[in-house]
Structure 1
Amino acid sequence: MTTTISNSALTASVKHSGAELFSIKDNQNNEYIWEGNPDFWGKHSPVLFPIVGTLKNNTYKIKDQEYNLSRHGFARDMEFELIDKTENKAVFSLKSSEETLKKYPFEFELQIIYTLNENSLDLEYKVINKGEEKMPFSIGAHPAIALPDNFEDYAIKFEKEENLKYNLLENDLISSKTKVLETSDGIIPLNYELFKNDALVFKTVESKSLTILKNANPYIQVDYKDFPSLGIWTKENAPFICIEPWFGYSDTAHNSVDLFKKEGILVLDAGQNFRSQFSIKVL
């Protein structure tokens, strides 16, 4: 099943499976989200919950009990319920179940809220701890922005000129090796060589907004003021770029198996809510 919302400028479509955004079109029918061709990558914009990235050996412990979670968690592969819908807004919900409790022993509700405001799509995550104990979790976005024509016609301009230090990945885990992206006026020209070692993972980033440029002209802006970390990723020869605001990231090789001690983890008190929002603006 899918749900579509619209306003005078944009139309957005979301799959109930994973509550995954798969289309943003303007009123000229231009598409801004990656089509999901499995020859490159068969997703569009999955939500990452209750972990971001990869756990060491895909395992973790709570109270000395071992659990298994695959890369990026299970929410992206589960059916969400549409719980509210207006012309320009849709709210999806995923609740803990017997199935999720086997992988993640916490009672929760995850809501994903899509709202169109003029030429922007706002995506809000709401996490509710419905249990009686503290709940550790990470959450992140993974939208793939379609880049028609030549990949190297595009560049990313960060909001601020800063020292863009990122951690390298080794076997899908965060290594201690870092590099710094060289920029000119905060601009990074895109090329596939940047991603030869997988995603660029910024544990911290001062810029809370970036703009994708096409032939030096503004194309898409992503604002992520609520999020401390950022991933940027594509696959070789693929015509898309993923801009990924995150709370949390993959384990390090020396990470504790205790999920409460995982680097970058959030902990939500019993009965409390967590909210964060980012936006994709068509320019």
Structure 2
Amino acid sequence: MLQTISNHILSATINSKGAELVQLSKNNQDYIWEIDEKYWNKTSPILFPIVGRLKSDEYHNNEGTFKLPRHGFARDYEFEIIEKTENKVVFQLISNATTFINYPYHFQLKLSYEIIENQITLTYETKNLSQYQMPYSIGAHPAFKIENIKDYSLEFPNDNELTFHSLENELYSKKTNTISLDQNKLPLNYNHFKVDALVLKEFHSNEFSLLKNNNLYLKFKLTNFPHLGIWTKENAPFICIEPWNGYADNFDTNGNIFNKSGITILNPNEIKENKIEITL
């Protein structure tokens, strides 16, 4: 079911399946790409309860070994709408017998979208409903509409260089690639993405911008999202800007999810909030 929120500047439409943002516009200009399956079949999936791929697509804990697909399962579930106003909508997913098969933890996951002036805020709230600790990761994967990729750059005001961690077969090797920035800017081109996403496990700019011809296109402010993925496909008319709290397995992982690099551990009844503010 599609839900639309708006004000006098912005309009956003979200699909209750996956609580996925499918449309975002300002003054009738679209910012989220329109699906073309020859490139990708999503617009902005939520990544939960893992980000990226697990080694052999599995993990273990004290209960046994469990399978999870890349980026988890939340994107495939119908979310309940628990609040709706003209400019805000809140979606909720609660663990059930089906999620428990692959992820034996009781959880409550809320995702709210709120528009104020020329900004949309995405707030992710995760609560551990279990009586024991719950390991999880969470992330966003929005695909923003672009034209000629070489017209775009990312500006990181607190970074002079960026160190990207290399993926091999969707797992992290120990290889890194450090790129010096020109006036804090990373020019975009398809050559960056020949192997996979550009992944920043660490960077210093929790506020950064996507520029078009050196003019502001989108501005991002992240709270409790310490990692960032950047991704597209050859000739695709989108760029994914992916705030993450967590990331894929290292190639030499032992598979214990509690020891997983980048994992978050929630205590019983603990709530953690992650936030993305996007200014258009």
TM-score normalized with structure 2 length = 0.98
| Aligned partners of 2:108 and 2:128 also within 8 Å | yes
Decide whether the 8 Å contact of 1:159 with 1:208 is kept in 2.
no
Q: Secondary structure at the match of 1:44?
A: coil
Q: Distance in 1 between matches of 2:268 and 2:224?
A: 22
Q: Is the 8 A contact 1:167 1:178 kept in 2?
A: yes
Q: What secondary structure is seen at the aligned counterpart in 1 of 2:141?
A: coil
Residue 64 of structure 1 and its aligned partner are, at CA, apart by 4.9
Q: C-alpha deviations, 1:98-119, integer Å up to 9, x for none?
A: 0000000000010001000111
Comparing 150-159 with 86-95, greater Cα deviation is found at 150-159
Q: Please say if 1:16 is aligned against 2:16.
A: yes
1:159 deviates by 2.4
CA distance in 2, matches of 1:131, 1:162: 43
Say whether the 8 Å CA contact 2:208–2:220 is kept in structure 1. yes
Alignment of 1:186-197 (within 5 A): 186-197=184-195
In 1, the alpha carbon distance for the partners of 2:141 and 2:233 equals: 14
3-state SS in 1 of match to 2:29: coil
**C-alpha separation between the residues in 2 aligned to 1:38 and 1:277?**
29
Q: 1:251 aligned to 246, 249, 252, which one? A: 249
Q: Which residue of 1 aligns with 2:277?
A: 279
Paired residue for 2:201, among 185, 200, 203?
203
Once the 2 structures are TM-superposed, how far is the Cα of residue 182 of structure 1 from its aligned partner?
Answer: 2.5
Query: How far, CA to CA, are the matches of 1:211 and 1:172 in structure 2?
Result: 27
* Structure 1 residue 62 displacement after superposition: 1.5
Question: 5 Å matches for 1:125-204?
Answer: 125-147=124-146, 149-204=147-202
Give structure 1 regions of 4+ aligned residues with deviation exceeding 4 angstroms: none
What are the residue-to-residue correspondences of 1:44-55 with 2, within 5 Å?
44-55=43-54
Separation in 1, partners of 2:15, 2:190: 29
Find the aligned partners of 1:256 and 1:162 in 2 and give their Cα distance: 35
Distance 2:256 2:136 in 1: 12
AA of the residue aligned to 1:271 = N
* Structure 1 residue 210, shift from structure 2 partner: 1.6
The amino acid that maps onto 2:79 is F
Residue 241 of structure 1 aligns with an amino acid whose one-letter code is: I
2:160–2:180 CA contact under 8 A, matched in 1: no
Alignment pair present for 1:2 and 2:5:
no
Residue 115 of structure 2 aligns with which residue?
Answer: 116
CA positional deviation for 1:163: 2.7
Larger deviation: 252-261 or 44-53?
Answer: 252-261
1:218 corresponds to 2:216? yes
Q: Size of the alignment, in residue pairs?
A: 280
The runs of 5 or more residues in structure 1 that have no matched partner are none
Q: Per the alignment, in what secondary structure is the counterpart of residue 224 of structure 1?
A: strand
**Partner SS state of residue 194, structure 1:** helix
Identity %: 46
